[in-house]
Chain A
């Protein structure tokens, strides 16, 4: 148990009133004051609102919020009303947990943002089809500001993607307008033109046949707090020329798994190629040399902003679909596969251009691997990487923006259990590569290799498609 030091209580009152009060020690712009445990596994953050937060800094740039409570001048109070005495002396927090003795200790002052603010990897190296997209200066007033970019598209251009990278891209900084040459905001017309996840957004045309690329001037607007807009890296990917009768898309396979045999790799790649071969319009995935990665990447955190993904994805190819076969993805139980984006940053060799597929989750308890299912999972993720959304989600309420993929609706939920199986949707999209679940019924896996004409049209417009 720690010794309490009453004379310092005034500091805590000040702290409760304003995090800025201790001007010499506390950054006046800080939103909160935070302390790290000696074992560096726990952060206690005092919010201006009177709330105290408990966070675990698990990976570089990622903190998990585990719990909250309230605080006053010298006490933290948990959900049961248990009292924990605390004091701050200089850069140290002394915490007393007389009830459980689990939190008792000395915590040192840290900058919460430097620990918990998302890591932003280098977005990577452009191929010839990708150019930097210069953004305007910060515009507007108030808390939310804007940056924009304009670019001209010529008659030869058949596909464009705008990629945005930055720590708060996809969360606090987002594209809010994508103006076509006719002045219409495509994000209003079709919100699915934009896809965002933490650290990355992509605006893609065409997403379907209804909204093709038109020649003329496009304008992108991104909104968010100034500090997050400043650091955005924007790039423009274009494909010019003809749409081919037979479109080839290079497939690069990087194997970090230590358990896959060469035969199993070959079978998996063959299965993926076969899945796309069933596509209307001819879509031919052309496998390039298989690359073996260091075994240290066999188990990897499923976060595309992580240093490990950045290193592993450096083995990818800007001009290919990049498939990374790992043994296990950390942090998402039972993960089969995950694409870095819809689409991934095609044309750039970097951490948002690729898909990870976990091998061990495709095994049985006895270790038997189904390369057929591994190939199916890979094909599904590569479909995302090429810009396709799920045709139908579990409840039948959300569908892709493509007109000719049948929509399986809640009314097709024959047994009324709220979950559409491939069997219930078999006359519709149950066998589509982008259906939300691979299960047919009673645990039977369906072979999902159907691709609609319009989905295939999106695929053949891929930035990385070649003749």
Chain B
């Protein structure tokens, strides 16, 4: 068999769940293909995911409908860091990061995007959220919550979007890795 039936069904139905229009230059297929890479790096997404035309679709995917794949929702929430729209930050903060019923992986992704791109907004609220979640039983949520708090504190020193300063650093590690798994 060439296709995996279960995910076919849920994936297509999730793709139909959102009616937000997508501008023709970024297709639904392109967004899904880029988000579905075997190995996805939210800090180095394809141009398609950074396009303003992709935002509404990413927001819809990040809401994680019951029949939609979790990995897509997490990646969509993570990719929203490349979109500065207030709708995106509201979704990430109000609908995902602040809600205790959000699955831990999705919550971690939302916190990560908030810290990466929206640390200059609603600082008091983000700091309160950071404090509330910093001892969360999920390692990923607690870790991103602590990181969010630090990002808010140093927000003035975070380079403007596009400067790509938010990267891992192991004592001066500033050279690219030789070859990634992806």
Binding site for B on A (CB under 8 A): 31, 41-42, 52, 54-56, 58-59, 61-69, 78-80, 82, 100, 102-103, 112-113, 116-118, 167, 170-172, 174, 192, 194-198, 201, 299-301, 328, 330-339, 342, 360-366, 368, 370, 372-373, 376-377, 380, 384, 390, 393-394, 415, 417-421, 431, 436-447
Contacts and interface: CB of A to CB of B under 8 A. Distances in A.
Contacts of B48: 417-419
A413 B131 CA distance: 47
Contact of A331 (B4, B67, B140, B166): B140
Contacts of B67: 364-366, 368
B179 A334 contact: no
A421 B48 CA distance: 14
Contacts of B71: 334-336, 361-362
B6 A170 contact: no
Contacts of B66: 364-366
Scoring B8, B10, B46, B70 by chain A CB atoms within 10 A of each residue's CB, the highest score goes to B70
B171 A113 contact: yes
* Chain B interface bracket (under 10, 10 to 19, 20 to 34, 35 or more): 35 or more
Scoring A364, A384, A390 by chain B CB atoms within 10 A of each residue's CB, the highest score goes to A364
A443 B182 contact: no
A76 to B, nearest CB: 8
B146 to A, nearest CB: 6
A442 B66 CA distance: 18
B170 A437 contact: no
Contact of B4 (A61, A368, A373): A373
A67 B78 contact: no
Given A100-B156, A334-B78, A338-B181, A364 B36 contact: no
A54 B42 CA distance: 21
Contact of A42 (B15, B41, B150): B150
A365 B73 contact: yes
Interface in B51-71: 64-71
A435 to B, nearest CB: 8
Contacts of A41: 146, 149-150
B170 to A, nearest CB: 4
A301 B139 contact: yes
Contacts of A171: 170, 173, 175, 177
A431 B2 contact: yes
B151 interface: yes
A196 B173 CA distance: 14
Interface in B72-102: 72-75, 77-78
